[in-house]
Amino acid sequence: MTEPTYPDAPPPQYPGAPPQHPTVPPQSPQGAPPYPGATPPPYPGTTPPEYPATAPQYPTATPPQYPTSPPPQYPTTAVSPQYPASAPPQYPAASPQYPAPTPPPQQPPRVPAQGFAPPPAPPQPPVLDRTVDIDPHTGRIHLAARQRGADATAIGQLVFQLPHFLCSLLVIGIISMFLAAPFDYLLIGAWIASGALVFHRPTEKLLARYLFRMRPALHSELTRLEPIWHQVTAKAGVSPETYDLWIEDHKAVNATAAAGHIVGVTRYALETLPDAQLAAVLAHELGHHRGGHAWATLLGYWYSMPARIAWAAFRIAAVIAFQIASVFSLLGALVVGLVSVVVVVAVALSFPPLLLVLVTPYLLAAVGRRSELRADIQAAELGFADAMIEVFHGFLRDEEQALAIAARENGGRAVRPGLGQRLLSSHPDTHTRIRRLEDWRAAAAAAAR
């Protein structure tokens, strides 16, 4: 493609006359394509626009003059502000005196007869007694080789329950006479083998709930009871899981050892006794289990149940017959009473062990008092002699209060248990128990010298 030819006109001269523009449009270069259409559009105008003949004049004024005065003088040295010359306020040299706080009002002493105490705050587990025989490295309890047994009082319980066992065997034998063979012998064998239920834990729980009127301990009660129980069993070298802890809702300080694995404590004792005294009470019940007193007593009671039920049924029938006969005539009542006596004498003569039943309650009560003293000594051997004495002094205060109430109700005359009541009591009097513990403590102190 050929480069187009431009006009040879000289460049415009400034600021002279305006440039002269060509009046004829430029010619297209040879060979250039024609403009579309027949005639090209005309060049705009024939005269170029007029430009000013002279360049615009800008102002030639001089720039404004700024003040030439020197800058203000600032202080060259820092001067701290002047504060008032008055002295600072004086503070009191001595601390202010506040009134002494008033002591809280004293709560009245707790009276056992007024009912249960209000629920205490959640107890904190007591600190483990460092005299307990526990391995400091493993935390294991050194179990004793002899966990439980049967001492002389437990053997005495079983021997003196033998007449009741024979009477019950007689009752079961009479009932079996109405059964066909071999069910008669099966009934006798099943009754004899039922004594093993005393050591069956599910059966023990039923006995604890329905016979002894106990309930399982709540978690809040176990929070205080279990750590103390673990200390007691650790001192005795006994596994704490061997026994089950139960609660008896009773308004007195008491505890119970029953069957083969039941240890019960009253809710009142749990809420009112200090830790040491509560541990002493639990140690006493553990002594009953270790000596075999609990299972021997319950086993004898279990085998005497048929005889007791038969005797109770006979007495009810005799009373009803006597009352019916007395409605018709006095002679008929005398005949019924005489027939009842004859039946009792005839059965006793035909089965002589029945005569021992008249004496065994006193013998069993004497053995029971002996077993209580043995359990006290076992608790003392675990280190709870002083705490047991404190518990018994609390018993004395409660007994004196009960005697004072009975005397007021009896017109001021003292009410004391009779001889028969004392002979049938399964627990020795409190003074005897305190004296026995004091003698043991004095003997132990003399042996340690």
Instruction: Provide the residue-wise pLDDT of the chain in tens; the chain has 449 residues.
Output: 555 555 555 655 555 555 565 555 555 555 555 555 556 666 555 566 666 666 666 656 565 566 566 665 765 555 555 655 555 556 555 555 666 666 666 655 554 444 444 555 544 444 444 444 444 334 555 666 566 778 899 999 999 999 889 889 989 998 998 888 888 889 999 999 998 888 888 999 998 999 889 999 999 999 999 999 999 999 998 988 899 999 999 888 899 998 889 999 999 999 999 999 999 999 999 999 999 999 999 999 999 999 899 889 988 888 888 788 777 777 777 777 787 777 777 777 777 767 778 888 999 999 999 999 999 999 999 999 999 999 999 999 988 888 888 888 877 777 777 888 888 899 999 999 999 999 999 999 999 88
Q: Note whether 304 and 165 are within 8 A (CB).
A: yes
pTM above 0.85, yes or no: no
Instruction: For the chain, give the longest Cα–Cα distance.
Output: 180
Residue from 291, 123, 285 nearest 214 by CA:
285
Residue 405 CA: distances (Å) to CA of 8, 398, 400, 418: 152, 11, 9, 18
How many whole angstroms separate alpha carbon 358 and alpha carbon 343? Answer: 16
Q: How far is CA 402 from the centre of its chain?
A: 33
CA distance 437 to 386: 8
Instruction: Count the helix, strand and coil residues of the chain and give each as a percent rounded to the nearest 5.
Output: 50, 5, 45
- Residue given tokens 């020795």 in the structure block: 428
In terms of Cα–Cα distance, which of 365, 433, 438 is closest to 395?
433
